[in-house]
Chains A and B, each alone.
Chain A
Amino acid sequence: MGNIIVIIFGAIFINNFVLSRFLGLCPYFGVSKKVETSIGMGMAVTFVMTMASLVTWLLEWFVLVPNNLQYLRTIVFILVIAALVQFVEIVMRKVAPALYEALGIFLPLITTNCAVLGVAILNIQIGYNLFEALVFAVAAAAGFTLALVILAGIRERLELAFISRHFRGVALSLIIAGILSIAFMGFQGMM
């Protein structure tokens, strides 16, 4: 049980996917303009990451390893993720058009969200069992969502600021992320 808490706390705060592992940065800076959208994006990522972890873990240990095909890991994983995302996209478009509208073009972006592939590969590299892998995926996604929502809140607030035009947009977001990253360093050493 303690182990699980370490995984959760570690993935959210200590080694936050975005702020310390540099994973999922493109959607992080792309979808963080509005808090509502960022929450939606966070949920979509959580869903995809959990599903991807499950499928890739099973594939790794039941297909690739028995056949000594680990060198195909990258290609197989990304294929799975791509298919999964496309599937989610198609279904969401039909079932929840409002959500689809909100997330719009960012659903395909989840495919190229390195956080998803990253979590799948990390699961294998660290050697988590299936349950740990799923917990890790959810926690990592939660960490991603947390960082995303915080940044979105800040950027919404900054709509009221007169920012120098050189810094407007991603440049300032990067600096904010840097300061956030420092602030998150405070959690180091816990657990």
Chain B
Amino acid sequence: METRLVVSSSPHLKTPESIQSVMTDVLLALFPAAIAGVVFFGWMGLLTMVLCMVSAMVTEAVILRQKNIFGDGSAAVTGLLLAMTLPPAPPWWLTVIGGVVAIVIGKQVFGGIGNNIFNPALVARAILMVSWAGHMTGWLSPVDLVSTATPLPLAARGVSTSFLSLFIGTVPGCIGETSAFALLLGAAWLFYKGHICWRIPGGYIGVVFLMGMFFGGMGSLATMVSVGLFHVLAGGVMLGALYMATDWVSSPVTPRGKLIFGIGCGIITMLVRLYGMYPEGVTFAILLMNAVTPLIDRATLPRKFGEVTK
């Protein structure tokens, strides 16, 4: 035989999925929310997203000395996710710094893809938020692009926002977080492809809802439910629960661990929202739970087949 055969370990069948294809799936899933961002916040939203993605991808390509700027697609996802957590019209340099920080501090110092302990986009957002709090809270109303406050602090002052606008996304907020509808649409795609499971988002959103219900101010059942629902829809919980907390690398790998992770995120988010200094706690909550992920994994190793329980 003239051709040499390939010898490798079994199995000899492999799934067609690759890291690149999965990252493309995630980008597709973020597409509806990105469209919503552009629709609501105009060309500034688009510019921010593009700038952030490019800055992240270029940084990664430079560090890894790779010619293909898209690479495995993970930098693009990080960049887009970061852009979605930025306010609608940040200064351009803020966006660029964010992309660089996300890739360098959030990812490459840990050894690159797969090794980052924390969600790179959230690391960058947290650093930006601490550094330039003013720029990071420059909210615009999506209707007329006038500066305004987001629903969460408004609610604290007693101003309510309609559920419909929260669901559609016609409320002030970060570029990608306002439209629950678009986020759910993209998440449905990820569910369909089997890239995320219900445990993290379910635990997260469930706890936010319940804590919103019982600690957000007592009242009649209807009020309590609406407060719970408000907390789920307002702010970054949807984006965080569906896209940030479910980030493979920085979340637990065991089924039980995932549920614990989601619940933990929910509790910390609500603690920050209800009792803390910051109006929103999603970033802190997910970063904190990222930090304890290795411990959660250790503690929740599944019972192996045939293990005799003592």
Binding site for B on A (CB under 8 A): 35, 149-150, 153-154, 156-158, 160-164, 167, 172, 175-176, 179-180, 182-191
Contacts and interface: CB of A to CB of B under 8 A. Distances in A.
Interface stretch (B90-98, B145-153, B280-288): B280-288
Nearest to A149: B295
A41 B21 CA distance: 45
Given A153-B294, A161-B111, A179-B291, 4 more contacts: A172-B110, A186-B281, A187-B271, A189-B275
Given A161-B110, A172-B110, A187 B130 contact: no
Interface in B231-288: 268, 271-272, 275-278, 281, 283-285, 287-288
A154 B294 contact: yes
**Closest 5 interchain pairs by CB?**
A189-B277, A186-B284, A161-B115, A161-B111, A153-B294
A93 to B, nearest CB: 29
Chain B interface secondary structure, helix, strand, loop or mixed? helix
B139 interface: no
A172 B291 contact: no
Contacts of B271: 187, 190
B13 interface: no
Contacts of A167: 109
A158 B111 contact: yes
B66 to A, nearest CB: 16
A136 B272 CA distance: 23
Contacts of A191: 275
Contacts of A187: 271-272, 276, 284
B291 to A, nearest CB: 5
Nearest to B285: A186
Nearest to B129: A182
Contact of B278 (A162, A180, A186): A186
B195 interface: no
Interface string B109-120: 111101101100
A179 B118 contact: yes
Contacts of A35: 295, 298
Contact of B294 (A157, A164, A172, A179): A157
B35 interface: no
A187 B277 CA distance: 8
B298 A153 contact: yes
A150 B295 contact: yes
Contacts of B112: 162
Contacts of B277: 188-190
A183 B288 CA distance: 6
B209 to A, nearest CB: 20
Contacts of A156: 294
Nearest to A187: B276
Nearest to B109: A167
